[in-house]
Amino acid sequence: MMRTALAISPHLDDAVFSAGGTLARLAAQGWQVVMATVFTASVMNPRGFALACQLDKGLAPEVDYMALRRDEDRAAARALGIDAPVHLPFREAPHRGYASAPELFAELRSDDRIGANLADAFERLVADTGPDLILAPQAVGGHVDHVQVVRAFRGAQPPLPVLWWRDFPYTVRTAEPKEPLRAIFAHLPEQIVRLDAEAGRRKAEACVAYASQIGFQFGGPEGLRDRLAAEDGIERFHLQGRLPPDLRDAGFA
């Protein structure tokens, strides 16, 4: 029977940036790979900081920014060789009261009660997909959307094993990235996955598919290439539970 891996991505790009090579390797091994992104809701007539986040990517106010990003995500999934991605209908932080870039990396707002809704959605997603392996973020970098996902997902008590990824590009942007949830993961063993040439190529192609993010995040495709190269063809996780033994042949050292 075909086995299923479920990747829980906060934003449209996180799973690919952080674990795309692993997803490509799993697909090449015959796994079904479901990439589900949490914050993908279109919000019409954005204002204030939310609008600024769109304008600074060179997109006019009337453009459906999230529809464009969902299309990028579909292209990225094709590049990885995985199933068409799943898009959950939750609003990104700038649409939940976070009003500036620093606020995106500060404390959770007391009126941001999205966690309970996320936990419900995760339980349903796990029930629908029946995953044999889950991949999810550690919230390295401390983005409030990533923190909400980790907290809610843990609260939903997912079946094991879970590979918790280190959130790229926060991992390479500063020497000591913020890790607000470090205590949750510190005791779990580290698991590395080596990307073969094919997985590395697929990951690079999938990352470039997020064209609206590349300039803002990396200053362009060359910057992305340099940042990816800094990861040395390895993706790093903390492992909760036990991996299926046959994955050792698939680069899981």
Q: Which residues of the shown chain bind Zn ion in the complex (CB under 5 A)?
A: 10-11, 14
Shortest distance in whole angstroms from residue 185 CB to Zn ion: 17
Q: In this structure, are residues 24 and 81 in contact, taking their beta carbons and an 8 Å threshold?
A: yes
Nearest CB to Zn ion, comparing residues 30 and 102: 102
DSSP H helical ranges for the chain: 14-28, 48-55, 65-80, 115-129, 144-155, 170-173, 182-185, 197-208, 211-218, 221-229
Nearest CB to Zn ion, comparing residues 236 and 250: 236
Q: On the CB side of 96, how many CA atoms lie within 13 Å of its CA?
A: 19
Nearest CB to Zn ion, comparing residues 14 and 132: 14
Nearest CB to Zn ion, comparing residues 14 and 235: 14
Shortest distance in whole angstroms from residue 11 CB to Zn ion: 4
DSSP secondary structure of 3-23: -EEEEEESSTTHHHHHHHHHH
Shortest distance in whole angstroms from residue 74 CB to Zn ion: 18
Q: Return the residue nearest Zn ion (CB atom).
A: 11
Shortest distance in whole angstroms from residue 43 CB to Zn ion: 17
Nearest CB to Zn ion, comparing residues 132 and 236: 236
- Chain mean position to CA 88: 13
The CB-based long-range contact list for 99-103 (8 Å cut-off, 24+ gap) reads 99/48, 99/49, 100/49, 101/49, 103/144
Shortest distance in whole angstroms from residue 192 CB to Zn ion: 22
